[in-house]
Amino acid sequence: MNTPSPLKLTLVIASVILCWAYSPIGVHMGLHSYSPGQLALLRFLIASVFMGGVASVVGIGRPPLRDLPWLLVLGFFGVFLHHTSLNYGQQWVTAAASSVLAQSAPLFSVLIAFLCLKEQVSAWRWGCVLLGLAGVVVVIWGDRGIGDINPRGLLILLAACSWSVYFAIQRHYAHRYSPLTMACYMVWSGTLMLCVNLPGLPVAIVQAPMVENLAVLVLGIFPSALAYLAWGYVLKHVEVSRASVAMYLIPPVAMLMAATLLGEHVTLQVMLGAVIVLASVAAISLEGNWRPKVPAKRPQVPSGRPIEQASSD
């Protein structure tokens, strides 16, 4: 496998950031003409067709029957529940605030690991979770004001939690499939579930203004399809811990896009909350790097006998 140049990797990562930063802006525009469920379905119908074209050219693996239930579960959490909750929640918060709240998924990953997987969680991680949740409160306070909070806006946090569940399951199957194969089956299975929103969609498409249909078309091709393919390419050549650092740039870029394309006014409280949330998420991911590594003890052998290299389990 040829190693791409640093410039090429940087450009690919930048394209991923731009694609995913556009997502809340495209959702905000699409919600003017579509219901949250219709918007999710149309977005992923476009993505499914695009991914089908890519798969027909490149080729993907065929999953065994025993994996089909889990691929449906991935589609449920990664597409159906995540994007349905995200669309409903974004009716009540700005695109800028939505981009920050959606990045809180690692906080819920810690809670899921503790409550469902019975993993030990360090005091450091608990502190990061509490700090991150405080940042979420600051974002909500700065976006609408505590007195004007609509509980339905908190569905974005359900979307973040759903993404955490998806990621936990996806890690278990990532070694069996290529990133393209995993992305295709996730998108297709999730789109199949979203078809419950099909009634009324053709009429909504005809009645929607051209600008908003174009916004949804971009939403379906770039954040929902190309970004996943580009991210899979990045992860083939860059360590996950290093590549994930770039994801912290998504909310600032989304805020700039929201101010430019939607005319949103991003308050200082939202920016402060974004810093708190992203700092807590970064601290969780960097925890392992701050722990001192204990050198392994070398086995004692009789003098004159060479030490054989131990094989890993």
For 119-170, the pLDDT digits (tens) are: 777 888 888 888 888 888 888 888 766 556 667 778 888 998 898 888 777 7
Decide if 308 is inside a domain. Answer: no
Confidence band for 313, pLDDT divided at 50, 70 and 90: low
Confidence band for 304, pLDDT divided at 50, 70 and 90: very low
Structure tokens at 26: 């495209």
Other CB atoms within 10 A of residue 53 CB: 11
Confidence band for 281, pLDDT divided at 50, 70 and 90: confident
Decide if 97 is inside a domain. Answer: yes
The helix-helix angle for 6-30 and 227-237 (nearest 10°) equals: 150
Global confidence as pTM: 0.81
Share of the chain above pLDDT 70, in %: 86
Structure tokens at 273: 């909350």
Decide if 129 is inside a domain. Answer: no
Q: How many domains does the chain have?
A: 1
Q: What is the pLDDT of residue 297?
A: 46
What's the CA gap between 261 and 26, in Å, rounded?
10
DSSP letter at 31 equals T
Decide if 34 is inside a domain. Answer: yes
Q: What is the pLDDT of residues 181-215, one digit of tens each?
A: 888 888 999 999 999 999 999 999 999 999 999 99
Q: What is the pLDDT of residue 43?
A: 96
Decide if 192 is inside a domain. Answer: yes
The domain in which residue 243 lies consists of: 6-105+149-262
> Is the per-residue pLDDT at 310 higher than 60?
no
Q: What is the pLDDT of residue 298?
A: 47
The helix-helix angle for 82-89 and 155-173 (nearest 10°) equals: 160
* Mean pLDDT score of the chain: 82
What's the CA gap between 56 and 290, in Å, rounded?
45
Decide if 276 is inside a domain. Answer: no
